[in-house]
Chains A and B, each alone.
Chain A
Amino acid sequence: MSLDYMLKKLSVCSPWLFRINAGSCNGCDVELATTACIPRYDVERFGCRYCGSPRHADIVLITGPVTTRVRDRVLRVWEEIPEPKVTVAVGICPISGGVFREGYSIEGPLDKWIPVDVNVPGCPPRPQAILEGVVLAKSIWMKKLGLEG
């Protein structure tokens, strides 16, 4: 077993989360920021940590239907995240546009611009669903590192 393999094997136990708001109504953001973090649902037990900088991120959680104004910023920030990264679309908006679908200012869905790895539907999704999405993202990250999930 090589050192590289061991480091990779360990690394999936430390997913740092980064949130991008792509024009969300804040419902999903509130669920992410508070519900998934409060004692009852504790994401830290998977080794997760919310980080402020895209440079530190491993799993990126994107909320919102990708509005015209915010699209370029989202793409720019997403590109700043070092590889390997896993993208999770949280809420129905980034998946299909949700109630904002076909609005004049909506450039979504998100997978038109960014390869999305995990979809967590809901308006807003339940905290349990968000946690499950993060755990799924962990196994996808393992696959991206070349380990069997």
Chain B
Amino acid sequence: MSDTLLAILHMCVFPGGAFALLVAMFFKGLDRRVEARLQRRVGPPLTQPWIDIAKLLTKETLIPKTACRPAFLLAPVFGFTGMAVCAAFIPVPGVFDGLFNMGDLLVIFYLLPIPAMAIMLGGSASSSPFGAVGFSREMLMMLAYETPLLMILLAVAMLTGKAMNGGSWGAEFSLLNIVALQQQVGSFGYNPVMIPAFLAYLIFLPGTMGVPPFDIPEAETEIIEGPLLEYGGPLLAMFQITSALKTFVVLGLGVALFFPGTISDIWIVNLVWFLLKCLALMLLSLTLVKSAMGRFRIDQAFRFYVMVPTALALCSLILVWVM
């Protein structure tokens, strides 16, 4: 019973729920600010994501007459819940080990597409033709970026499994063991075998977060925000919170997979170190790319994802296999 309570606490307070939300919103504000500075603008204040949420809460909610009401209303809740739970699985090295210690990598792999599914559900329930176009684009993007992600996770799992089995074949899907092993033998990010996988993960990030140049499903200039077109007010706020939480989850996962080193025994220092690493990952793979690039067409993005990150991840996978 107390285990269940503790799990719920982890999902609601730390590292899921409240903590993840605070960090993610701060990151989002910083992201907009840094992007503006990179483009030589002043940019919005750091609290802008909170202000946006506050604004959306005061707006009225309009639901289209032809929409499928239950699905339309439930889609944002669905995405939010998925991400709040998923955030609890992210280990903060030296502070928190992750919610479950068996096969949580696979659970994360299944939970990660939930926001995209929620967007697809909402878009198709909104009965708008733009929602339908956005649905098909989101689906295509998902097919394109989930394949390299699976290969990256497999490469990490196999490398860990092999090291734990003393060189013979094995796979380890527990993030706790993956993090523990890297703290002993050094981060995978410095391992030449894993560098292609890390690059593939860097390319995976903007695709899964739907930021330029891969914001194709929600392209506001072509298909006027696609699936989110009919959403407004509190429902849209929920989608924004979900997207912020997802940023935290994918960045935290990246740190856990490739750079989970700790620098001291004090938990607060480790926490700050973890956040700094997340921030560096975000600036490198999201903000920098976003501020410098336009938008790809869906076929270009699909071809790019099928070729480049998949090839990189496959490279790592084969290297791990043969070595």
Closest to A52 in B: B220
Q: Is the CB of B39 within 8 A of A55?
A: no
The complex places the Cα of A123 from the Cα of B223 at a distance, in Å, of 29
Chain A residue at smallest Cβ distance from B36: A44
Chain A interface (Cβ within 8 Å of chain B)? Answer: 4, 6-8, 10-14, 16, 39, 42, 44-47, 50-53, 55-56, 58, 80, 82-84, 145
15 contacts between A and B (CB under 8 A): A4-B58, A7-B55, A8-B58, A11-B57, A12-B55, A13-B48, A14-B48, A16-B55, A39-B41, A45-B44, A47-B45, A52-B224, A53-B225, A56-B228, A83-B59
Complex Cα distance A56/B43, Å? Answer: 20
Instruction: Kindly list chain B residues whose C-beta atoms are within 8 Å of the C-beta of A10.
Output: 50-51, 54-55
Cβ–Cβ contact A42 & B36, under 8 A = yes
- Give the contact stretch, choosing among B9-17, B230-238, B305-313: B230-238
Chain B interface extent, by class: 20 to 34
- Give per-residue flags for B30-59: 1 if the beta carbon is below 8 A from chain A beta carbons, else 0: 001000100111111100101110110111
Which one of A4, A16, A56 has the highest number of Cβ atoms from chain B below 10 Å of its Cβ? Answer: A56
Consensus secondary structure, chain B interface: loop
Q: For the complex, give the distance between the alpha carbons of A53 and B152 in Å.
A: 36
**B62 proximal to A (CB < 8 A):** yes
Partner of B233, one of A8, A16, A50, A82: A82
Instruction: For the complex formed, measure the closest distance between the CB of B102 and the CB atoms of chain A, giving whole angstroms.
Output: 42
Q: Beyond A11-B58, A52-B229: 19 further Cβ-contacts under 8 Å?
A: A7-B57, A10-B50, A10-B51, A11-B57, A13-B55, A14-B51, A14-B54, A42-B42, A45-B44, A47-B52, A53-B232, A55-B231, A56-B236, A58-B55, A82-B59, A82-B233, A83-B59, A83-B60, A84-B59
Q: Is the CB of A56 within 8 A of B232?
A: yes
Q: Are A44 and B220 touching (Cβ within 8 A)?
A: no
Interface check B168, CB cutoff 8 A = no
Interchain CB contact under 8 A, A45 and B41: yes
CA distance in complex: A51, B55 (Å): 14
